[in-house]
Structure 1
Amino acid sequence: MLQGNFFRGLGYLGEGFGLIRQPGLRLFVVVPLILNLLLFIALVWLMAEGFAVMIATVMAWLPDWAWLQAIDWLFWLLYGIVILLMFAYGFVIMANLIGSPFYGFLSEQTEKYLTGQEVSEDGGWVQILKDIPRALGREVHKIVYYIPRALLLVIIGLIPVVNLVAAVLWFAFNAWMMSLQYVDYPADNHRVSFGALRQRLAARRLSALGFGLPVALLAMVPVVNLFVVPAAVCGATAFWIREPDPTRITRT
């Protein structure tokens, strides 16, 4: 039986958007936000340049008919769709790789703001630098978890009739992955293993899916997704604090 509260889960992202505006948390939002903005601009520029070359190559192969030469707008429309899909998942993965040390500290400060208690005696920018190797390793762990399951869903999408449910499975899986992605930050601060985190979220699956669904949807909206990432970190920290833990958490 699924446990948790889907609608309560939906509210955590909204709470996260409120938290990133708090004076004590803004600094740890601004730095990764600037890094993500630079990443956003670089990726869009690179894809636009590459796609422009691709369009020019394709158009050169086509007969010199005016109506064919006029359909390059269609290719740019397809480019826009590709950008949308890329930023839904690829951008979020890369942004998390770049900002993971900052997001761990943002989660720590958010927990302190919400509970009034210190998560760790260590802190500050020196600690952020020290945490870079562990944070990057944790992100790689999540990518390794994601890839084989995503490939399985791709295969399911190729099977006639069965592929009718592929879209629903994709949405559910990506909502689950977004919960894992962001609740992992407070879990890591408490030295909770990734396996133990999955058990904890599985025990509150409805709440986890409720939290992850709006994150996954807003991740597809360019520019908005720049702000979704830190808001999701703060919302996930509220999730960690308020959702009951019915499992026995093992620590790394």
Structure 2
Amino acid sequence: MPPREVRIPTRDGGRLWAERNGTGNPVVLLHGAGMDSRLWDAVVPELARHHDVIRYDARGLGRSTPPGKPFSDVEDLRAVLDHFGLRHAALVGLSMGGETALDFTLAHPERVTALVLVGASVSGHVWPPSPELSVYATARRERDTTTLAELELTIWAAMGRTAPGGELIEDMVASNAERRVVSEQHCTVSTGRAAEPHLADISVPTLVVHGAHDHPEIAVIAERLVTDIPGARGETIPDADHYLPLRTPERLTKLVLSHLP
């Protein structure tokens, strides 16, 4: 079936841009902070040959409307599933999207069939101090979007513009720099608890993937996920940084297809 674009209403009057493509068991793709659903451009075509694939722009990013009041990424994900009439789905999340997927699974375990966590962050994880992350946090706090975009590329897109997907990564970062600051100021954690202490409660099949050139703390988090989530399996992909779906889409797609029900 051809891709179908929709605007999904949220409880507080927002609209989430979403696209549905393919047929089969449902899978939802969640992108990271400062990005949008174009992150999955190179993954969707093959994935949609086997699955009912839904991707959407998180609140305020890409083509979704900016928040005007506090909102929850977990509630937005539930709104997406409800809109499409899905009682359950597999979740594939990168970075912030992985964090949302984990929080949602803990809050609504009956609605998740499988997890793929790609370069995932985890709510409750304490990042060790470092000069680069301190500057990054300051830029976010002070809404210095120029510095924020530069640091996003330096820290998270370490392989640079000449690596696969480089031009699209730069465009996503530039177009979402201001939007992410607004969204992050309004985003709340609706589950009421951090995920990291409760990873052992996750019972769905889980695949944890990260790139060998990602930030070192992402590898630490990946190891924690594999250790604490019962039965979780880990994969490290060479020649990939944090933007793994654009750096090595064929390898990632193969892993996802082999894991999903």
Please tell me whether Structure 1 or Structure 2 has the larger radius of gyration of its CA atoms: 1
TM-score normalised by L of structure 2: 0.27
Larger RCO of the pair (alpha carbons < 8 Å, separation 6+): 1
TM-score normalised by L of structure 1: 0.28
